[in-house]
A and B are shown apart, each in its own frame.
Chain A
Amino acid sequence: MDPERPLPQPITPEAKPYWDGLKEGALMLPRCTACGSTFFYPRILCPRCGARDIGWIKASGRGTLYSFAIAHQSINRAMKVPPPYVLAMVELAEGPRMLTNLVNVTPDPKALRCDMPVRVVFSKLTDDVTIPLWEPAS
């Protein structure tokens, strides 16, 4: 359990497959049935073609570190993970990007570089909520 983080809220109905998947250890992504585009965050239409026929795929859990920053303080006061920690934007192998933390790494710019390979790890916050974090993939 990881009680140090603000819980995600409010969870919205269109994101239920995403949150349900994480509880089972799967990173699920919305995918447009019409044009095949995979996107994130979940919404009821495809931001590429506008179609409202959205399915879900299980992501590979692989990606690259698109960008990062080192938080030396938590400006967001609800965040209780002790700084320094790595704020990250990951580009998933499937295309979309997500904000996250890079963990299991020294929070030092010298230990990190943009485009380094990363893989998903799951962090259980409560019995109902698990969030995806990412770590270096050697």
Chain B
Amino acid sequence: MALLPEVKKDYGKLKNFVNGEWIEPETTKYIDVENPATTGKIGELPFSTKEDTIKAIEAANEAWMEWRETPPITRARYMFKAKNIMEDHFENIARIMTQEMGKNIDEARGETRRSIENVETAAGVTSLMMGYNLEDGAAANIDEEAIITPLGTFGAIAPFNFPAMIPFWFWPYAVATGNTYIVKPSKQVPITWNYIMEILQDVFPPGVLSIVNGSHEVADALMEHPGIKGISFVGSTPVAKYIYRHCAENGKRVQAQGGAKNSLVVMEDAVMDRTVANMLASFYGCTGQRCLAGANLVPVGQKAYDAVLPKFIEGAKKIRVGYGLNETTNMGPVVSGDAKKKILGYIEKGVEEGAKLVLDGRDIKVPGYEKGYFIGPTLFEDVTPDMTIAKEEIFGPVVAVIPQDTLDDAIEMINSSNFGNAASIYTQNGRWARDFRYYLNVGNLGINIGIVAAMSYFPFAGYKDSFFGDMHGQGKDAINFFTDRKVVIMRWF
């Protein structure tokens, strides 16, 4: 099938959107943005400086009071307008995402939908932000109330794996509640968010929503500047720890989402055909680069092992790898040459440590895309929980099969991980499902579903080393993160 057309072949040199205008950053340092399927250059990202970032912060601070004084119902109307524009550009957003990140077009369309859903949820700000009061709450004739108020300017430091969606876990809630916002997109996949900013550029008053492209210097400037009230971050655990610590040192609110090592547990009574199809989507969807992707496949007991493994391997062999703009592609490339190298290193490590490489995706060739950063579906058997590939986040299409004798053993193994992002169980047994839900220390838990991606009106974050902070992304947690409660006690003489 012919490829879907790319929106553009080259998006040129990116600029920053500050105070309602696209401006050239002061920096002279640029890096190429690549299409991971073709390895061709599709744009140039500036490494904006601290001064570039401060300009954006000052403009956002300047815009804040007027935006704060804009009534919530009016702010909601801005969100409706943003939603409608996003709908008009739905397909372009998805295709750019595929072009720069590699995920297939269905996944990109799904991500675009989820981005819009967060705008829709945030548009309910008039209800979500409502405070509370109690007549005679303090004493007779003395009333007490709690008002929910915005704080100022916030920022997002975004990862590569969801080029559009992840800033949407944050900015719609921040802006709808009366804050101003600065997004720093991933340096690997900045084009999607620059496109989104371009289509939304006339929606909000100048300074309300801004974008600063770059790398560490931008992130540090956001974390250190007193004009920023809080930071939302998604990425690896070591960086999440740094962000958490650095924001705390600078007196900021922070929600820092880290890495994951998610286990999918299969019980002997699972509906195997449905289970296998769902697990394939979890392990190999987005080429394993979701923080909610399955990583360890855990059959409980020999019967489950015998029932699930052959079907899973058969299914994995049928996964069609290619450029995501071909609508028949099941799995695209990984995001970059560095990512590919790192994943191949983990596969080598698995072999060295004695795991049995049953499906080897290292040498896959995709006709027409020979230079692309492709890795085929990979699966290891005979993996023990102490092996590197069982413990560390690989972030690629690599499955480690780690059988366990009982459900209790599986729960113990999962709970012993440093990560606590997600886990799933496949079973028809309510008691097993209940025990799994009750005893597991993870933030997102699936029962017969392998990608436990909270909808926009539910909170999203993991436990343990998968999350540093208190309030999660999305939903009411996001409203709380971007607002404070002001208690007023009133007495009238």
The yes or no verdict on A and B being binding partners is no
Question: Which B residues form the contact surface with A (CB < 8 A)?
Answer: none
